Amino acid sequence: MSEVTFSKEGNIGIIFVNNPPVNALSQAVRAGLQSGVEQGLADNDVEAMVILCGGSTFIAGADIREFGKPSQPPALPDVVYFMEDSPKPMIAAIHGTALGGGLEVALSCHFRIAAPTAKVGLPEVKLGLLPGAGGTQRLPRIAGVKAALEMIVSGDPISAQKTKTIGIIDEIAEGDLKTAALAYAKRIVTEKTPLRKVREMAAKVDSPTQFEDFAKSIARSKRGFIAPFKCIEAIRASVEMSFDEGMKQERTLFEGLRQGTQSGAQRHVFFAEREVVKVPGLPKDLATRDIKIVGILGAGTMGGGIAMCFANAGIPVRLLDMKQEFIDRGLGVIRKNYSNTVAKGRLAQEDMDQRMALIMPTLSYEDLKDVDLVIEAVFEDMAVKKEVFGKLEKICKPGAILASNTSYLNIDDIAAATGRPQDVVGMHFFSPANVMRLLENVRGAKTADDVKATVMKIGKKIGKVPVMVGVCDGFVGNRMLGKRSRECGFMLEEGALPTQIDKVIFDFGFPMGPYAMSDMAGLDVGWRNRKAKFNELTKREQDNNLLDKICEMGRYGQKTGAGFYKYDDKRNTTPDPLIEELILQHSKDRGIVRRVITDQEILERALYSMINEGAKILEEGIAARPVDIDAVYLYGYGFPAYHGGPMFYADTVGLKNIYEAILKYKDLVGAEYWTPSPLLEKLAKEGKGFYSM
């Protein structure tokens, strides 16, 4: 069956789009729409045309996979212009989501009717683009500049009810959409309703500085991104230029973005999120285990956040800790988190009450008898973990999945403490667990395939981006981060200061630099970890003891008011001369002559050390694909989406350049830290990238 078909019901032509899964506007769909309108115009019996879609949604936008390729006619702006020019009424009948090019098609129709559950939006900005088929010119004309700025720059969809209020949708359908749309079309014909061409309307500003003010309001949240600011520029054209000139301006800006590296990276991110859940080697149709009730051990920082994730998804939780006071404290934090969301108007009080009611606190392991999945989030100590898993084995029903949220410990060793290692798996959430989207699911040597499939599925269900990784110290994320921390520590003693390093990493696009981040997480966490692994460190790493010195001063970061920086009551950060003095003295004591370290060197050592480790992780099969590593960094560590993740970024820099830099740092810092991974070396010499292996 072709993607677009034309048929008639009485005097109404139906242009039916059927291009699963989301009716994206591939070349065939664009051509089909054009030809559908032509057929309707040529047929004297047809007095109006309805565009209707099959499957779960109206057109969800351009076919994103086509953006990297040369464009094939007909171009969407021409198709929609042709539609709008039709002398016979064109009606869009919307269900599901009319997104991007889909909404642009609808805006070019003369009338729009939508199912009550429909949503519309222009999410191009999330792909590093702007609407490229008249969205920036037609939306401000029909919905006003304010609504257009909000919708186009945020990219977030809005509900059918709201779109009716702001004029995008003319009618909300009652009952079957097709029946309602046909009736609406007949009414338009009978009543001879004048055609409304959005392009003939005028867009007006609400104030002379509306665009500047809006740009200022997003300066912080959209830092580093190009597209949101280009969206504003394009919308401005709708007010200051004629429609045709505005369209030209939109096209120029769109093409500039489409060909730029940011959009390439953001399109990669879109597909990465969907790709990681398809774990190589796991059959797509593998039956998963039913997860109806979840047990969580430990009501601390992580346990509380994890409990919220499940309660948010409507899944009942049994939250266990050792003492009533720990339970009370944990529940108190959960309640406070929800209350803050209610206060901000982002959650209804009754929804909060429902979620709280789903979390049942307990001190008794007996209450874990009937749970389908337990996630352990107790102290990071192998002896404690083994003891806990030993208890779980005895209590939990056969087939229950026993998961650990450990950050570093070996899942296989934990599994060995039970008689059912096939049921044991890592589920490594990131702090704050109710906010961060990454979930590193760690497969043990004996973890059963259906357990792996189940933790991927449940991860997606609770709104996470689950990534399957193998067992190693720190898994993917923390193992790579360890290399960055080491290099930054070395650079501090060689000549850099925390402020310089943090600025370079912040300017690259991370939400914060490594020292601000450590201060926020609590320096004692890293310190404890360092002490536990001290004997495995090299001599230089052992001597690089600035963290020990700072922690010994009782400075654990934000929570104690001081760490690498000083903090006031409102947690505002200021550099501390005392710490700078400590660093200078440290270099002196170690006989290191401090030198100027350029920002470029900081960036390279911080990022290339991680990329080289990422390559090793691929060689060892800890991550199956570069996309898994990118997803870990995008969703767990705030890697800027416009760089696409460390492995994608490496390809944009060129592996040859990275390889040469690694050799330079090998000479400068030492082979034990900077030996290129054989995979990276091979790809660099072959002129390939991680994504073109």
Q: Which of 242, 379, 397, 657 binds ligand NAI (CB under 6 A)?
A: 379
Residue 174 known to be catalytic: no
Strand, coil or helix: 575 = strand
Which of 84, 104, 171, 613 is an active site residue?
A: 104
Measured CA to CA, the distance from residue 35 to residue 41 in angstroms comes to 10
- Per CB under 6 A, which region of 71-79, 261-269, 401-409, 634-642 contacts ligand NAI? 401-409
Q: Which of 52, 227, 378, 439 binds ligand NAI (CB under 6 A)?
A: 378
Contacted by 63, from ligand 3HC, ligand NAI, none: CB < 5 to 8 Å by type: ligand 3HC
Q: Which of 19, 23, 108, 405 binds ligand NAI (CB under 6 A)?
A: 405
Cα 78 versus chain centre, distance: 33
Q: Which of 2, 65, 397, 693 binds ligand 3HC (CB under 6 A)?
A: 65
Shortest separation between residue 301's beta carbon and ligand NAI, angstroms = 4
Shortest separation between residue 366's beta carbon and ligand NAI, angstroms = 14
Interaction with ligand NAI in 424-453: which residues (CB under 6 A)? 429-431
- Per CB under 6 A, which region of 61-69, 291-299, 457-465, 557-565 contacts ligand 3HC? 61-69
Answer yes or no whether residue 131 interacts with ligand 3HC by CB under 6 A: yes
Contacted by 124, from ligand 3HC, ligand NAI, none: CB < 5 to 8 Å by type: ligand 3HC
CA dihedral 560, 562, 567, 568 (to 10 degrees): 50
Strand partners, 49: 13, 90
Contacted by 693, from ligand NAI, ligand 3HC, none: CB < 5 to 8 Å by type: none
110, 111, 109, 112: which is closest to 94 by C-alpha?
112
202, 230, 44, 15: which is closest to 129 by C-alpha?
230
Strand partners, 113: 93, 171
Shortest separation between residue 322's beta carbon and ligand NAI, angstroms = 5
Nearest residue (CB) to ligand 3HC, 108 versus 545: 108
Question: β-pairing, 424-429 with 438-443?
Answer: antiparallel
Q: Which of 298, 495, 514, 640 binds ligand NAI (CB under 6 A)?
A: 298
Answer yes or no whether residue 384 interacts with ligand NAI by CB under 6 A: yes
534, 547, 508: which is closest to 642 by C-alpha?
508
Shortest separation between residue 634's beta carbon and ligand NAI, angstroms = 17
DSSP 480: H
Written in H, E and C, the secondary structure of 221-277 is CCCCCCHHHHHHHHHHHHHHCCHHHHHHHHHHHHHHHHCCHHHHHHHHHHHHHHHCC
- Per CB under 6 A, which region of 125-133, 279-287, 299-307, 413-421 contacts ligand 3HC? 125-133
- Report phi then psi at 439, rounded to 5: -135, 110
Answer yes or no whether residue 133 interacts with ligand 3HC by CB under 6 A: yes
Contacted by 97, from ligand NAI, ligand 3HC, none: CB < 5 to 8 Å by type: ligand 3HC
Interaction with ligand 3HC in 11-50: which residues (CB under 6 A)? 21-22, 24
**Number of residues in contact with ligand 3HC, rule: CB under 6 A?**
26
DSSP 557: B
In terms of Cβ atoms closer than 10 Å to its own Cβ (0-12, 13-18, 19+), residue 94 is buried
Buried b (16+ CB within 10 A) or exposed e, 428-463: bbbbebbebbbbbbbbbebbbbbbbbbbbebbeebe
Q: Which of 3, 84, 104, 171 binds ligand 3HC (CB under 6 A)?
A: 104
Shortest separation between residue 432's beta carbon and ligand NAI, angstroms = 8
Nearest residue (CB) to ligand 3HC, 158 versus 579: 158
Q: Which of 216, 223, 274, 336 binds ligand 3HC (CB under 6 A)?
A: 274
Nearest residue (CB) to ligand 3HC, 131 versus 304: 131
CB 152 within 8 A of CB 127: no
Q: Which of 52, 299, 480, 606 binds ligand NAI (CB under 6 A)?
A: 299
Cβ partners under 8 Å of residue 250, min gap 6: 130, 131, 132, 134, 135, 136, 137, 234, 237
Measured CA to CA, the distance from residue 263 to residue 18 in angstroms comes to 28
Cβ partners under 8 Å of residue 363, min gap 6: 320, 321, 322, 323, 324, 327
Answer yes or no whether residue 388 interacts with ligand NAI by CB under 6 A: yes
Shortest separation between residue 11's beta carbon and ligand 3HC, angstroms = 32
Measured CA to CA, the distance from residue 459 to residue 429 in angstroms comes to 10
Q: Which two tokens stand for residue 435?
A: 């906010």
Nearest residue (CB) to ligand NAI, 248 versus 559: 559
Q: Which of 19, 34, 86, 97 binds ligand 3HC (CB under 6 A)?
A: 97
375, 14, 368: which is closest to 184 by C-alpha?
14
Shortest separation between residue 573's beta carbon and ligand NAI, angstroms = 20
In terms of Cβ atoms closer than 10 Å to its own Cβ (0-12, 13-18, 19+), residue 516 is buried
Shortest separation between residue 245's beta carbon and ligand NAI, angstroms = 53
Shortest separation between residue 509's beta carbon and ligand 3HC, angstroms = 21
- Per CB under 6 A, which region of 8-16, 122-130, 296-304, 486-494 contacts ligand 3HC? 122-130
Contacted by 322, from ligand 3HC, ligand NAI, none: CB < 5 to 8 Å by type: ligand NAI
Answer yes or no whether residue 403 interacts with ligand NAI by CB under 6 A: no
Contacted by 297, from ligand 3HC, ligand NAI, none: CB < 5 to 8 Å by type: ligand NAI
- Report phi then psi at 618, rounded to 5: -70, -45
Contacted by 298, from ligand NAI, ligand 3HC, none: CB < 5 to 8 Å by type: ligand NAI
Strand, coil or helix: 580 = helix
150, 251, 134, 152: which is closest to 198 by C-alpha?
134
Strand partners, 566: 562, 574
- Per CB under 6 A, which region of 255-263, 318-326, 570-578, 644-652 contacts ligand NAI? 318-326
Measured CA to CA, the distance from residue 124 to residue 228 in angstroms comes to 10
Which of 124, 171, 493, 601 is an active site residue?
A: 124
Q: Which residue is nearest to ligand NAI (CB)?
A: 300
DSSP 675: P
**Active site positions, annotated:** 104, 124
**Residues of the shown chain interacting with ligand NAI in the complex, contacts defined by CB under 6 A:** 297-303, 320-322, 326, 377-380, 384, 388, 405-407, 429-431
**Residues of the shown chain interacting with ligand 3HC in the complex, contacts defined by CB under 6 A:** 21-22, 24, 57, 60-65, 76, 97, 99-101, 104, 123-124, 127, 129, 131-133, 135, 271, 274
